[in-house]
Chains A and B, each alone.
Chain A
Amino acid sequence: MTDQAYNFAYLDEQTKRMIRRALLKAVAIPGYQVPFASREMPMPYGWGTGGVQVTAACLTPDDVLKVIDQGADDTTNAVSIRKFFQRTAGVEVTQSTALASVIQTRHRIPETALSAGQILVYQVPIPEPLRFLEPRETETRKMHELEEYGLMHVKLYEDIARHGQIATSYAYPVKVEGRYVMDPSPIPKFDNPKLSGSAALQLFGAGREQRIYALPPFTDVVSLDFDDHPFTPTKANHDCDLCGASASYLDEVIIDDQGSRMFVCSDTDFCETRREMGHVGRLGTPSNKGAQA
């Protein structure tokens, strides 16, 4: 079968319309999980089928797409999804956060601040922030309806009682516009502050769980905490060994049999841009592009 056998961006127009309706509803009720008739996609559930469907419903031929996984453009699944849209939509792709109009991500928010007109699409495994406190969908929907979030606060309190602090380091729950408690997808809590007041439209797609939710631009998003235990974003206490950045989220890489470590920006575009600008970290070498410039 040739690629011409598929519609632009794979999904048929009826399906896109159904997804767009769910997206509009999601934008109208920030943080609320809208059920949608998720389709089987040609990649497995858990690989980003929700994000791919949302991206497919948003893409136009003029869009410039960036796909990242763990912050990086060159991780295997990011490569695979980018190729999928190159093949089925023929859109221009980029690794630059600033140049992209649509960014699909798994587990990270880019370091570079997003701007108006950009869309950030998150891949979501479990959209329900209350799921691990209450496994039943019928129950958790009721809890959201009644704004009954006591269970979540008890869980956070128990963390403090046991560990002296809230021991959730990623997929850290947030409250949206003072109403819905929302799962921000498994981004490190370091990224949570970027959810709030972003100029970009943030869309969340959970394919297997058939849910879409959204944060329209400039939505107020607060990470749950207590007055005496305020939320604190954390990262490895190092600078990037390639570009020297001190405030970006870092991946830890084991570099020899003795267990030596190096720390590098998880956002590859951010790191490379800095190196091109002449920044050099502890183990980095000056960028060729930077030297020529």
Chain B
Amino acid sequence: MYVAVKGGERAIDAAHAWLAEERRGDLSVAEMSIAQIRNQLRLAVNRVMAEGSLFDPDLAALAIKQSRGDLIEAVFLIRAYRTTLPRFGATQPIDTAQMACIRRISATFKDLPGGQILGPTFDYTHRLLDFKLAAEGQLPPQAAPTAPPVRASMPHVTGLLDQDDLIQPEVDAGLAPPDLTRSPMELPAARALRLQALARGDEGFVLSMAYSTQRGYGRTHAFVGELRIGMVRVSMEIPELGFAVEIGEIEVTECETVNQFKGSKTEPPQFTRGYGLTLGQNERKSIAMSLVDRALRWRELGEDWSGAPAQDEEFVLMHADNVQATGFLEHIKLPHYVDFQSELEMVRKLRAEARAYKEAAE
């Protein structure tokens, strides 16, 4: 009888074997390849890369396969792998003005230099189940029409506003950005650190925080000044060479919001900014990120503290990470016999004392 609660080792091995069997599923159904996941579940791959903070579509696809499609579990696998990788150095800042855009839209100007490029978006699809997709192995989709790239360089909308002093300028403080994966988070956090935490943060959490600002909890009146998705070059300075060398390309989504600012007696009204950037095509996340970024800037921009959750840096940054959150949440299923036993004793003792007190009173 007592033996039944012990014997963890054999149980763990058996559980792992069962998990592997369940992951593969029915053997009469073909096994999914990494390439299939990478190509056909690309938005899932992007989310895992963004929240895993590692640009590697193949590894992200492998993580999704291994985690049976549990994306937070996949993010966790990527994080645990990433943390073991040696750091050679830091790349130069990516130049998103030089992005090869597959999508670039502005909600603030009907047309602008470089034009509006819709790209592969769900935005104007009708959400009707397409039963043709259920009939697999049928004809490939009609080839989409193509057009030559519009221009090599795509100016930022906020840059255009900046020329007329209509938007608050961003000054490069010249500080090396902190890295919360290499040093413990310190509060209050610099904006660069907040952006890093948000870029890695759980999409659902950041989305809800952003949504809450739209519903009045720390309202910032955001317009999507610009949303762009595409490939950017990554360069790194090689000390032995003394100049920067292009080492590859990554896909990113960048969102810049234009937000209202009332101004004051001394300062005339000017728009303010929120910023979001994520690895891969991840537009919901990067829009949400820029709204939360803007809400967190209340102090710097001289706004009132309204007590809204999205204004609360400590609350947002300490709870955005889904690997931390899921770990701590799920750990309560681990054994707690010892603590529970001490609580049992305590409750019994308190009840006995209460009973004795009542009997004495009678």
Binding site for B on A (CB under 8 A): 6, 10, 12, 35-42, 44-47, 49, 69-72, 74-80, 106-108, 125, 136-138, 163-165, 167, 169-171, 186-190, 208, 210, 234-236, 242, 249-253, 255-256, 262, 264, 266
Contact = CB atoms under 8 A, between A and B. Distances in A.
Contact of A74 (B6, B339, B350): B6
Q: SS class of chain A's interface: helix, strand, loop or mixed?
A: loop
B90 interface: no
Contact of A72 (B6, B11, B183, B314): B6
B338 A107 contact: yes
Most central of B82, B187, B342 by chain A CB within 10 Å: B342
Interface string B237-252: 0000000000000000
Interface residues of B, number: 50
Nearest to A15: B83
Contacts of B76: 40, 44
Contacts of A250: 341
Contacts of A249: 338, 341
B330 interface: yes
Closest 5 CB pairs of A and B: A46-B331, A45-B327, A44-B327, A169-B342, A35-B184
B193 to A, nearest CB: 13
A37 B184 contact: yes
Given A47-B334, A76-B8, A125-B328, 10 more contacts: A40-B323, A44-B331, A107-B338, A137-B318, A171-B339, A188-B339, A188-B341, A208-B324, A253-B1, A262-B2
A79 to B, nearest CB: 4
Interface of B: 1-2, 5-9, 11-12, 76, 79-80, 82-84, 86, 181-188, 314, 318, 323-324, 326-332, 334-339, 341-346, 349-350, 353
A153 to B, nearest CB: 20
A249 B341 CA distance: 9
A236 B339 contact: no
A70 B335 contact: yes
Contacts, number: 150
B345 A45 contact: no
A252 B344 contact: yes
Contact of B181 (A37, A69, A74, A256): A37
A188 B344 CA distance: 11
B343 A253 contact: no
21 contacts: A12-B84, A35-B184, A44-B323, A45-B323, A45-B324, A45-B328, A46-B329, A74-B7, A74-B8, A75-B6, A75-B335, A76-B8, A76-B335, A164-B350, A186-B336, A188-B339, A208-B324, A210-B185, A236-B341, A236-B344, A255-B2
B12 A79 contact: yes
B83 A39 contact: yes
B350 A38 contact: no
Contact of A36 (B82, B184, B331): B184
Given A76-B12, A107-B336, A188-B338, A170 B343 contact: yes
A78 B12 CA distance: 11
Nearest to B339: A170
B206 to A, nearest CB: 19
B345 A255 contact: no
A266 B342 CA distance: 12
B80 A42 contact: yes
Most central of B331, B338, B343 by chain A CB within 10 Å: B338
